[in-house]
Amino acid sequence: MGVDISGKGGDVHFNWQTWRALLTLAYDYGWKPAGTEPGRWVDPETGELDEQMSPNPDEWDGSYFTNGFQWVTDEDAAHIADALEQALDDILGGEGKQRVSDFIAYCRAGVFSIG
């Protein structure tokens, strides 16, 4: 079990431990979470966010840690990437560093949902 990330960068899956570690690392290197936007359906013809699918937006808590199909904005994704780039020099080589590098590129593609 974990999270499925879908967006302009494609689809990727993380287990909860890895997802939490990525966001904690970004936070430790300066990311200020903007909070997610509540889940919305995407119009398949335009790719634009369409009708609301999650709870009332006024009741949404902005969590990154549920499978609510919530959205991380372009700006927030860029800030995650910026912070993770700061962390790269402090990560020992190997698979972990490559995974962080891959997620930086993913975030640079822009908006994504967490499901």
According to the model, what pLDDT value does residue 55 have? 57
Question: For the chain, which ranges sit under pLDDT 50?
Answer: none
Residue at 52 is within a domain: no
Residue at 95 is within a domain: yes
Total domains, the chain: 1
Question: What are all long-range contacts of 26-33, with beta carbons under 8 Å and residues at least 24 apart?
Answer: 26/79, 26/80, 26/83, 26/84, 26/87, 27/83, 28/83, 28/87, 29/83, 29/84, 29/86, 29/87, 30/82, 30/83, 30/86, 31/79, 31/80, 31/82, 31/83, 31/84, 32/79, 33/62, 33/64, 33/76
According to the model, what pLDDT value does residue 57 have? 66
Residue at 89 is within a domain: yes
Residue at 88 is within a domain: yes
According to the model, what pLDDT value does residue 87 have? 96
According to the model, what pLDDT value does residue 24 have? 97
Residue at 103 is within a domain: yes
Range of the domain at 89: 81-115
pLDDT tens for 83-93 read: 999 999 898 87
pTM over 0.75: yes
pLDDT tens for 51-72 read: 666 556 677 889 999 988 899 9
Residue at 115 is within a domain: yes
